[in-house]
Structure 1
C-alpha cells in the first residue's frame, strides 16, 4: 500500500521538470488573456502556489522561493493552473493585484516590441517608478 502523502503529490509527477528541477511558468491575466510574465517554478513553488492560491516562483538568481509581491505588494492571485501537452510549461491564470506585474513598474514584462528597424522599442508605459515600488524606507 502506498503512502497517502505520496499519492497527494502525484499531480506534481506529471510535470516534466528540467535538469535543474524547474519548469517554465507563464502568468496570464484573467479576463484579458494578456501574458504578464514568465518565471520558473520548482516542485515546492508549484505546491505552495496551489496550496496558498498566490503565485510562488523559484528565483534562479537568489536561489530561493519568491512569493510574487513580497517586496512590491503586487501579488498574483491564482484562479487556474494548467499544464501544457508536453508537461513542460505551467500556465497560471491570475488576478494581478495593483495592476503591475513587472519589476520595471509596467503592467506586463512583455513591454518591448521589435520595430521595423529590428530594434526593441518600449510600447507600454511605466505605471509606477520602480524606485517607489521597491524603496526600503
Structure 2
C-alpha cells in the first residue's frame, strides 16, 4: 500500500465546510462521509477528514484550539503561479480568509496562505519544476 496522509480537522459546520473544500478543488468521497464526517480528496494520496466537534472529541480529549490560534499550517502544491492565486481568491469568495500571511515570491517558489471557515491554515504553493530538479 502506498503511503498516504489523512489530515483530520474539526469543523463547526460540516455542510458549509464540504462546500468550501469542494470550491477549492477537493472532491468528496461519499464512502467515508456521513453526518459527522466528510472525506475530502485532494489527490490520490492526500485526504482531509472534516469532523464535527462531537466526532473530533471521540478521537482526542485535547481541547480545540482557541479562535485565532494556529495549530498547524498545511501546504499543498499547485500546478502554477496562477493556480495559487486562484485558490486564494476562491477561498475568500467562499467564506475563508485570503493572505493570512504575507505572500512569498522567491522567483522559483510562490506561495500564499489562506484560512478555511474554521481558521485552519493552508498554504498553496507552486515551485518551478526546473528548480526542483536542481537546474536553477
Flag whether TM exceeds 0.5 (same fold). no
Q: Structure 2 length as normaliser, TM-score?
A: 0.27
Which structure is higher in helix share?
2
Q: Structure 1 length as normaliser, TM-score?
A: 0.27
